[in-house]
Amino acid sequence: MNRRYGIAAAVLAALLVVVTAAKIQHVPWTTPAARAIEQRGPLSEAEKATIDIFERVSPSVVQVAAKSAANPLMGEEAQGGASGTGFVWDREGHLVTNNHVVANGEEIAVRFASGEVAQVDLVGTAPNYDLAVLRIRSVRELPPPVALGSSSDLKVGQSAFAIGNPFGLDQSMTSGIISALKRRLPTHGGREIANVIQTDAAINPGNSGGPLLDSAGRLIGVTTAIISPSGSNAGIGFAVPVDVVNRIVPELIRNGRVPTPGIGIVAASEDVSTRLGVEGVIVVRTAPGSPAERAGIRGVNFSTGAVGDIITAADGKPVRRLSDLTDALELSGAGKTVRLTVKRGSDTRDVNVSIIDIDRS
């Protein structure tokens, strides 16, 4: 009898567990119904401004893909499937990007924000500035050119925005500030770009050639490089200043190339100048028949090892390193004359030297 009651009690307990579990599944706090949406207030003014920049400028930003015989993959970086970036320069179909994005490309194509793909021709390159100009082959209705700003009045700390295609992720926008100004950046052309903009806006492979914008949505630079041990954004990105871009791009459109102004000297490295305690450009030698030789500039005496002429100023501005001299020559341009202050021993004199296009001399 006791055993019979025990079995009955166990069955009853099991039924109670099943019934209780069924009820628990239907209590209000376990309901599967969607939660109510919490209404938000209006967007902040800063958010509205950023959205406006993207909506105005992004249609004019393109993805650039270059295919070479050695690398049939389209893109600046095969790893990760990334490519470069470019943007509409004018209503004649010219686009601007980095030289290193298209330097080895046999076929170049661009993809617009709309998804449309267009074949382009390479109009010209300027390796010394890491800039290139493309032109769309077929006539089409283009998005508006990106508005131009100025890089001469930029301030460290002001907002900066980059639009590009990092790792092939098209139409990506990042923001930050201008971290530093007047940086110098070596290029594939063997020279340095002066007054380069440094920003902490995220710049990654694939952003190269894209626009760097100010808070008004104006172009202030062309993103060109990053410093990163891993190859990804580390908060240090660089952009060619728009004042340089606005000087170089029209020349590329007209002639397909940009002159390399020079006076025909070989200069000592900055390491040598530093070791000798010299502030200026030490002339190692002059090219035969060059403007420098004709102006009487003298290089190092290799028989005695004596230092010859040291260029300390150009057109009245101090020359402390070679890039100061090349900047002065580029501002004047080939075909013009530059007044150099030259120190030889304890004597200092001024000489006028003609500037030539050393690539065609």
Query: Which of 100, 179, 290, 309 is flagged as catalytic?
Result: 100
Residue 208 annotated in active site: yes
Rg (CA), the chain: 31
- Single out the residue of 89, 121, 56, 53 nearest to residue 245, CA to CA: 89
Taking CA atoms, 64 is separated from 95, 289, 323, in Å, by 10, 43, 31
C-alpha 173/C-alpha 163 separation (Å) is 4
Residue 354 annotated in active site: no
The three-class DSSP label of residue 119 is strand
**What is the DSSP-derived secondary structure letter of residue 112?**
-
C-alpha 20/C-alpha 16 separation (Å) is 6
The three-class DSSP label of residue 199 is strand
Contact between residue 340 and residue 313 where contact means Cβ atoms under 8 Å apart: yes
C-alpha 240/C-alpha 96 separation (Å) is 12
Contact between residue 206 and residue 224 where contact means Cβ atoms under 8 Å apart: no
Taking CA atoms, 354 is separated from 10, 130, 185, 298, 338, in Å, by 109, 26, 27, 16, 6
Query: Which of 58, 179, 208, 290 is flagged as catalytic?
Result: 208
Contact between residue 110 and residue 117 where contact means Cβ atoms under 8 Å apart: yes
Residue 100 annotated in active site: yes
Query: Which of 130, 200, 214, 309 is flagged as catalytic?
Result: 130
The number of angstroms, rounded, from the C-alpha of 236 to the middle of its chain's C-alpha atoms is 11
Task: Please tell me the number of Cα atoms within 13 Å of 358 on its side-chain side.
Answer: 18
**What is the DSSP-derived secondary structure letter of residue 350?**
E
Q: Which residues are catalytic?
A: 100, 130, 208
